[in-house]
Structure 1
Amino acid sequence: MIVYVVSHPEVRVDPLVPVPQWQLSAAGQERVQRLVAMPWARSAGFVASSAERKALQTAQAMAEASGCRVHVDAELGENDRSATGFVPPQEFEALADAFFAEPERSVLGWETALDAQQRIVRAVDRVLELARPAVGTRDGGSVVLATHGGVGTLLQCALRGVAISRRFDQPGQGSWYSFDSVTRQVAQGWQRL
């Protein structure tokens, strides 16, 4: 099976709303329309998502385009940053740099990058086991994981067998890459939608 890892596109940032409840912005919704027009998106045999609203909106559009239902796995969610809640963009980037630079250390109470990576790999393994019967019945079907940039980055580092590094981060919200579910080989790095 080919597995496509998709990060949700741009969101409507609202400091008064908990981050997991943020939804796609108009630009993000437009980018999702480009996503569902891709042939691999329309032929998906299984779509899984984190429980966060922005990822769910992305997954639901993919599921509608391919005739699937969305499987939700909360462990596909972004690293737990509830200790800080909303952080202004410039400060967030500095914290994210520290998160990736020291994967075994908690940044201001955040889940460590190493703990998040282990959780994500377990979730992906679980999703792929659930997907096998559904994808096996679809000609050319694939699996789509609608999730977050940090999740995709940590997963890609694990798939490549390299140390956690922000060097493998997405070029922007609304990006994707694919890997083979058997060999775990990444076909190419992040591509922008």
Structure 2
Amino acid sequence: MASLIFLTHPEVVIDPNVPVPQWPLNETGRRRMELFADALSGVLLSSIHASTEQKAMDGAAIVAKRLGMPYRTHEDLGENDRSATGYIAPPEFWEVVGEFFARPHESIRGWERAIDAQSRIVKAVSRIAAEEIGDTLIVAHGGVGCLLMAHLQQVEIGQESRPQHSGGGCFFVMDRESFAIRQDWRTIEEASFEDVRA
């Protein structure tokens, strides 16, 4: 019973002058990813996957280097497309995010609709799960992670369980074949993989 671990990238360098998909992990984010790599040391991963956004690739690269294996990138693992607005500073950003989840069938300020982002991430994860034969790690993003969780929990978008760390770096574990949830959201600091075969 192989597992799929879905991890949201941790803290990033916020630079309003750089497109959001190009933001790298900051020092805190990199340090937390090192902790996650340590926690994975007893898991025999067969593959590592990441979105094409820099922060996700940074996270995947840290784990891949520690475990001595490559990682693959997939554009359809990316965060919901927010290029219509670019960077929006908090607290306004969180207000728009709230609208994004509350009105999933509408485009909020030109953003990709939540329902479309959900369909995309579910298809991407399903494809990766079908292609692999062992335990798999996906490093992606919080927004699409919540949309994926809504699908897994079979609830309306916005009613799913949510990661509890404001800086990201949260994960859940699912059965790769059945898509049943084995572990709900945990932070990197709470990483435990007893029920992931080693």
Deviation of the 1:130 alpha carbon: 2.4
User: Partners of 1:84 and 1:68 in 2: how far apart?
Assistant: 37
Runs of 4+ off more than 3 Å: 39-42
Q: Which moved more, 1:19-28 or 1:169-178?
A: 169-178
TM-score (norm 1): 0.91
Matched with 2:156 is: 163
How far apart in 1 are the matches of 2:69 and 2:143?
25
SS at match of 1:38: helix
Provide structure 2 residue ranges, at least 5 long, that are not aligned to the other structure. 189-198
Q: Residues 153 and 160 of structure 2 are in contact (CA less than 8 Å); yes or no, is this contact kept in structure 1?
A: no
Structure 1 residue 166, shift from structure 2 partner: 5.8
Residue aligning to 1:48: 49
Partners of 2:143 and 2:159 lie apart in 1 by 9
**Residue 184 of structure 2 aligns with which residue?**
189
Alpha-carbon displacement from aligned partner over 1:58-94 (angstroms, at most 9, x marks no partner): 1111112223211111000000000000000211100
Give the superposition deviation at 1:125.
1.3
Task: Look up the equivalent residue of 2:118 and give its one-letter code.
Answer: Q
The DSSP-based 3-state class of the residue aligned with 1:89 is: coil
Partner of 1:152: 145
TM-score by length of 2: 0.89
Alpha carbons 2:53, 2:78 under 8 Å: kept: yes
User: SS of 2:117's equivalent?
Assistant: helix
- Paired residue for 1:112? 113
Q: CA RMSD in A?
A: 1.4
Structure 1 residue 188 displacement after superposition: 2.5
**2:170 partner letter:** S
Report Cα offsets for 1:112-151 as digits up to 9, x if no partner: 110000011111111112222xx3xxxxxx1001000111
Identical amino acids, percent of aligned pairs = 36
- CA 1:41–1:157: 2 relative to 1, 3 Å: farther
- Following superposition, the deviation at residue 40 of structure 1 comes to 6.0
1:33-72 matches, cutoff 5 A: 33-39=34-40, 43-72=44-73
1:71-82 to 2 correspondence within 5 Å? 71-82=72-83
Q: Helix, strand or coil: the match of 2:56?
A: helix
Residue 125 of structure 2: aligned partner = 124
Say whether the 8 Å CA contact 1:153–1:166 is kept in structure 2. no
Give a deviation string over 1:10-30, Cα, whole Å, max 9, x none. Answer: 001000000000001111011
8 Å Cα contact 2:24/2:58 also seen in 1: yes
- Counterpart code for 1:58: G
Contact 1:47 1:145 (8 Å CA) reproduced: yes
Q: How does 1:82-121 map to 2 (within 5 A)?
A: 82-121=83-122
Aligned residues of 1:41 and 1:62 also touching (Cα < 8 A): no
Distance in 1, matches of 2:42 and 2:19, equals 29
Q: Which residue number in structure 2 is paired with residue 138 of structure 1?
A: none
CA distance in 2, matches of 1:90, 1:122: 32
Q: Decide whether the 8 Å contact of 1:44 with 1:68 is kept in 2.
A: no
